[in-house]
Amino acid sequence: MTTKNWITNTLPDSDMTVLIRLGDEILFLWPGFHDGEQWCDAEGATLDVPVLGWMELEDAAAILDTARLIGDKS
């Protein structure tokens, strides 16, 4: 399965750690990478659950920062 980023419709570079959306009810967000053939966690172990999508860490951090700012205004 070649899950792609929903924004750019591509796979990440193999040297890029990204935030992965897993099809797992307990561990649904996880840092990892795609080695060109398969998805791995940040330590290099192959993931045995479906990967639903991914996002660059900087983009994920920006979303969290925005959510925090919105929450501070409430």
**DSSP character string of the chain:** -----TTT-SPPPTT--EEEEES-SS--EEEEEE-SSSEEETTSPBP-S-EEEEEEHHHHHHHHHHHHHHHHH-
The parts of the chain modelled with pLDDT lower than 70 are 1-8, 74
Q: Using only C-alpha atoms, what is the Rg of the chain?
A: 13
- The answer to whether the pTM exceeds 0.85 is no
pLDDT of residue 46: 96
pLDDT of residue 47: 93
Q: End-to-end distance of the chain based on CA atoms, in angstroms? A: 41
Q: Enter the tokens of residue 72.
A: 């501070």
pLDDT of residue 60: 85
